[in-house]
A and B are shown apart, each in its own frame.
Chain A
Amino acid sequence: MNLPGFILRNAFRNKRRLALSVSSVAVSLFLLITLQVALRELTNPINDEGSSLRIIVRNKVSLAQPLPVRQLQVLEKIPGVVAVTPFSFFGGLYKGDEKFTSFAQFAVDPARTLPLLADAKIPKAQLDAWIADRTACIVGQMTADRYGLKLGDRMQFTGQIYPCDLDLKVVGIYHGTADDRNLMFHQAYLDELLGNLGTVGTWWVRASSVAEAPLVTERINQAFANSSAEVRAESERAFVLGFVSMWANIKTLIGGISIVVVFALLLVTVSTMSMAIRERFRELAILKALGFRRRELFAFILAESFGLAMCGALLGAGGAWVMYHYLLNIQKLTNGLFIMFEVTPKMMGLAFSVAALLGVLAAIAPMVTVARTSVVQGLKTLD
């Protein structure tokens, strides 16, 4: 036997309690990670910096109402507008998907779209190929990976909003945007399929600077005031936020729950450790008598507490990671509400930090008690 062996032997002396307390740490951290993943998924688009440069112009009545094509000329002339493109959400069902397609398809004017895709990393040749071919499309890396798409592949979509189907050829794959999922194809192709209705879903506008963006938004709103198609322009950020406005409350809620989870976890761990040490009080006194110093006893307590918390973290956070990465198809389970459900290294870091902190905090009270108790006092508890 050696000292680590001794620590282990002590930790395992009450197996049921050990199992229960490790499980409680594991379950709590699993929950914490799940909450964090959900939170990230719900709020991720909002955190994109570049999106505040981009403005979405939609029909004031509702998002479902189209906008007339003729608005393009007006928009282009508004001061502070650098680029404008049609931006029509197709919302089709990708061939093979059963109920729900996890990525959006937007009809745009490719040549006009380039300034709006400033973040996107994509070879020039692919962009040129896209612009050149009316039935060509580009897709985000995530979607390409998910469906194993290569350049030259064809993609068929069944229209859900528009009464037409798409047959597109993948000519480019981009990455580096806030959401590398979207597919973009030619508005011209959509117009042709629909019989040139002379409308677009929304306009996608790029402002000259972040400072200018709110002013541009205001100017656009005014430009079409009292016209037959009044618009509502808002930053892409606000637009997405509008979609997820209810998530904003959820964010607070999730944050609150996370704190409660951590706090409950702290109470459980602290009481477990206190109990584990209290019932070993005499033994610690004996160890002292045998020549073990205070710092060695501290090390025993800390190692046990820390070890317990870390085992819990390994099980809980590791379990969450494995589960969300490999085992569960969250997209299917949530019917597409959550797409990625990705456990990031940051979350793993958070979980392990919480566990480490717990391990240390839970050790403090027993350590103080042990430090305060003399051998004789400790021995008295047994006579």
Chain B
Amino acid sequence: MSEPESIVTIRHLSKIYAQGDIQVTALDDISLVIAAGEFLTLMGPSGSGKSTLLHIIAGIDRPTSGECLVQGIDVTKLNESQLADWRNQNVGFVFQTFNLIPVLTAFENVELPLLLTRLGHAQRRKLVNTALDIVGLADRSHHLPKQLSGGQEQRVAIARALVTDPKLVVADEPTGNLDSHSAQEVLGILQSLSRQVGKTVIMVTHDPKAAAFGSRSIHLEKGELTN
């Protein structure tokens, strides 16, 4: 275990959007290796392709060319429903807007990804409570999203991302809508996921202070890596 194994291997990844005659190159021949347990931050100006890269790694978008291996599986080759299963088991998502389901309580929002598993009621309850514990919201499990602060909502979203115990947690500007105090909390949680639980966290941000929480930072500029 001395040599950190790689979890994500990206080779010659490109994404080109064709809009009529104009072609927009969102990602231009990216190659990248991400080690297991890393807290990688993706930085760069707006429109540089950060989200696109994150989406491809997380299996919600497809590249135009190149491959993206996650734990040895080329996710670009999976079909829709394989990809859905793969996401459910391997990826936790945290978005800028928290994207909780408004009619569900914190507990139920966190439970949502588990509804796709074969786990029984009691097992699900245990996992959900553990996840809410990790983000420090065990006492808010029966609150609806609208009864929570933004920071709390984002922490519920992180609990939802964790509950299936995925190897990979991806976060797209998770602090973009938060005050600095809440942002610190959220970043602290993401950092401890990587440091203490060994999760691989990939976070898009354009805030250098946020990026400081990561273990490594890479920069994108017009779809290309610049460091």
- The residues of A with any CB-CB pair to B shorter than 8 Å are 1-3, 6, 9-10, 12-13, 282-283, 286-296, 374-376, 379, 382-383
Contacts and interface: CB of A to CB of B under 8 A. Distances in A.
A55 B87 CA distance: 78
Interface residues of B, number: 28
Nearest to A8: B103
B97 interface: yes
Given A292-B84, A293-B81, A374-B61, A282 B99 contact: yes
Given A13-B102, A375-B60, A375-B61, A2 B81 contact: no
The 10 closest A-B CB pairs, nearest first, are A291-B88, A375-B60, A13-B103, A293-B84, A290-B113, A291-B87, A1-B108, A286-B99, A376-B61, A9-B103
28 contacts: A1-B104, A3-B115, A6-B108, A6-B115, A10-B103, A13-B103, A286-B99, A287-B112, A288-B60, A288-B84, A289-B93, A290-B112, A290-B160, A291-B84, A291-B85, A291-B87, A291-B88, A291-B116, A294-B80, A294-B81, A295-B81, A374-B61, A375-B60, A375-B61, A376-B55, A376-B60, A383-B96, A383-B97
Interface in B61-82: 61, 80-81
Interface of B: 55, 58, 60-61, 80-81, 84-89, 93, 95-97, 99, 101-104, 108, 111-113, 115-116, 160
A295 B58 CA distance: 21
Contacts of A286: 93, 95, 99, 101
Contacts of B86: 291
B93 A9 contact: no
A35 to B, nearest CB: 38
A290 B81 contact: no
Nearest to B95: A379
A295 to B, nearest CB: 8
Given A1-B108, A2-B115, A291-B85, 8 more contacts: A1-B104, A13-B103, A282-B99, A283-B101, A286-B99, A291-B113, A374-B60, A376-B61
A373 B71 CA distance: 28
Contacts of A1: 104, 108, 111, 115
A292 B60 contact: no
Most chain A beta-carbon neighbours within 10 Å: one of B86, B95, B104, B115: B115
